[in-house]
Amino acid sequence: MSFSPEDMGTWRGVLAPVHPAGWPFVAGAALVAVVGFAIWPPLGWLGVLVTAFCTYFFRDPPRIVPLGNGLVVAPADGRICTIDESVPPAELDMGTMPVPRVGIFLNIFDVHINRIPADGSVAGLAYRKGRFVNAALDKASEDNERQAIRLSLADGRDLAVVQIAGLVARRIVCDLRDGQTVRRGERFGLIRFGSRTDVYLPPGVAPLVALGQRAVGGETVIAELGVEGPARSGEER
């Protein structure tokens, strides 16, 4: 039996390596499974299911990052839940003028690895405690626990990406440091068990995605820095 390159690509997405942050959860669940089988077999099988889910949840598949000047890619997998204009988080000191914002909601079955949306350098990092309301709601951007990141782009403009905890999520992981040079599509962290990621674009830049559209982190182009105008609309067909 032979596999085509397309088949291999599909299997790489399903049988993806586990992100290092997920191994403690996988190992813990596996230990529960072993102990469970020794105590009561049904408990052991429950541990097996939890181990399988943790392995799936923390999967880290490779992505094909589009090349080209000025492209902004989705920082996470998920559904485009918000396209509007909003003021960036105050802690990033990016001013009080509303700018285009694209919000992505991640459910527990989405890949939760976060990726850098555009080439640049880290100009600011700010963590803020908050609530854990449903991340699909617009108020989650303001009320929930979050990690905000300000990127300085090559053309002198700024872009922000914000990791937002959700109803179930209780841990935001961000591996960036101030002044670090970053590249589009690079991994920079994750949010455990359901969340949201917002991108604040430079003023006037038009989002190239529509509400309800599915985004693939590191691959889906959500904006081009040289393209201005109104946001796109879409319909289900």
CA 112 – CA 94 distance, rounded (Å): 27
Q: What phi and psi values does residue 134 have, to the nearest 5 degrees?
A: -55, 120
CA 157 – CA 159 distance, rounded (Å): 7
Question: What is the strand order of the sheet 113-115 is part of?
Answer: 113-115, 187-191, 172-174
- Which one is catalytic: 2, 4, 86, 195? 195
User: What residues contact residue 143 under an 8 Å CB cut-off, 6+ apart?
Assistant: 130, 131, 133
Residue 123 token pair: 């100009």
Cβ atoms within 10 A of the Cβ of 25, count? Answer: 19
Coil/strand/helix, residue 122 = strand
State the amino acid at position 56 in one-letter form: Y
CA 126 – CA 88 distance, rounded (Å): 12
CA 94 – CA 160 distance, rounded (Å): 9
195 is an active site residue: yes
CA 148 – CA 172 distance, rounded (Å): 11
Catalytic residues: 195
